[in-house]
């Protein structure tokens, strides 16, 4: 649709999702609703094993629509908005298809919270990231106070959240916020290349790995190890496991069928 705020295309087993709300790709309620519909559709698609998420134009997402924040008149309204964004970002984080954020330009506020909900983050060398909500007299509401400490540690996250400062891509990589930094013009290409590499693996194995990692992050090590063992056992009964082992022994590339 010409007026779509979220566009998606599928090539092979990789879907590319582009947030299309220029000039700053701010997160409006309509965009959040459309993104959730796209995510639900891709999650249900057996043809898709990896998703690249990016913004149109020279930036990723400049944040949430300030007009929405300005219109909030009660604690109930604010909590409702926060829970709506959190629900979508939780859905992305818990997907059994890998989601890669291709971060170009500014990645701020709700945009950074969305990027942090993705499994992998590739940033352009001119990207700027931050949680500037405190400069507006508010706090992050779409998961920033929870995911940022888990990614970069409590001390670094506390400084970023309380100062509202932006950091460059290299600093983001140094503290573990992004996986790699690439030339600005290469962000989407590099993210897509990584998505294709992962999508060539067994869909069953991808899903099991993501489940083990996500569930284990929120449980004690002993419980995480138990879940890993359970998933390992389930994978051992798949056709892809038989194909992967046979291909290794026969010194050839495996042909996974995601079964």
Q: What is the pLDDT of residues 152-194, one digit of tens each?
A: 999 999 999 999 999 999 999 999 999 999 999 999 999 999 9
What value does the mean pLDDT of the chain take? Answer: 96
Long-range CB contacts for residues 192-198, cutoff 8 Å, separation at least 24: 192/14, 192/16, 192/52, 192/102, 194/100, 194/120, 194/122, 195/14, 195/50, 195/51, 195/52, 195/98, 195/100, 196/12, 196/13, 196/14, 196/50, 198/49, 198/50, 198/98
Lowest model confidence (mean pLDDT) among 60-69, 90-99, 174-183: 60-69
User: What's the rounded mean pLDDT across residues 193-201?
Assistant: 97
pLDDT tens for each residue of 12-57: 999 999 999 999 999 999 999 999 999 999 999 999 999 999 999 8
What pLDDT does 249 receive? 96
Q: Edge-to-edge, what's the strand order for the sheet holding 128-130?
A: 106-108, 128-130, 166-168
Indicate the helix (H) or strand (E) that contains 159.
helix 154-163
The whole-number average pLDDT for the span 116-120 is: 98
| Domains in the chain with CATH codes | 6-199 (3.90.226.10), 203-249 (1.10.12)
What single string gives the DSSP state of each residue in 96-149?
A: SSEEEEEE-SEEETHHHHHHHHSSEEEEETT-EEE-GGGGGT----SSHHHHHH
Catalytic annotation on 250? no
Q: Which of 113, 170, 171, 186 is catalytic?
A: 113
Candidates 11, 36, 93, 133; catalytic one: 133
Q: At what angle do helices 75-93 and 110-117 cross, to 10 degrees?
A: 30
pLDDT category of residue 1 using cuts at 50, 70 and 90:
very low
Mean pLDDT of 228-241: 97
Token look-up 């087993």 returns 13
pTM of the predicted model as reported, rounded to 2 decimal places: 0.95
pLDDT for position 104: 93
Burial label, 36 (beta-carbon count in 10 A; 0-12, 13-18, 19+)? middle
Active site residue 171: no
Give pLDDT, residue 94.
Answer: 96
């Amino acid at each position: 649709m010409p007026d779509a705020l979220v566009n998606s295309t599928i090539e092979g087993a990789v879907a590319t999702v582009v947030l299309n709300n220029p000039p700053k790709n701010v997160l409006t309620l309509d965009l959040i609703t459309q993104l959730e519909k796209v995510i639900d559709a891709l999650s249900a698609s057996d043809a898709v094993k990896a998703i690249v998420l990016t913004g149109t134009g020279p930036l990723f997402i400049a944040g949430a629509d300030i007009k929405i924040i300005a219109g909030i008149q009660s604690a109930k309204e604010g909590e409702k908005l926060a829970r709506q964004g959190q629900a979508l970002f939780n859905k992305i984080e818990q997907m059994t298809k890998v989601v890669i954020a291709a971060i170009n330009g500014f990645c701020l506020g709700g945009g950074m919270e969305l990027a942090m909900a993705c499994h992998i983050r590739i940033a352009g060398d001119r990207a700027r990231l931050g949680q500037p909500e405190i400069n507006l007299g508010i706090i992050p509401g779409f998961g920033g106070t929870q995911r940022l400490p888990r990614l970069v540690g409590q001390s670094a996250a506390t400084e970023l959240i309380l100062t509202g400062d932006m950091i460059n891509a290299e600093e983001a990589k140094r503290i573990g916020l992004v996986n790699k930094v690439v030339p600005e013009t290469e962000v989407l290409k590099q993210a897509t290349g990584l998505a294709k590499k992962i999508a060539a693996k067994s869909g069953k194995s991808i899903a099991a790995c993501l489940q083990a990692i996500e569930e284990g992050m929120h449980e004690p090590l002993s419980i995480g190890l138990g879940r890993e063992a359970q998933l390992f056992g389930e994978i051992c009964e798949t056709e892809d496991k038989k194909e992967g082992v046979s291909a290794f022994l026969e010194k050839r590339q495996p042909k996974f069928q995601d079964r």
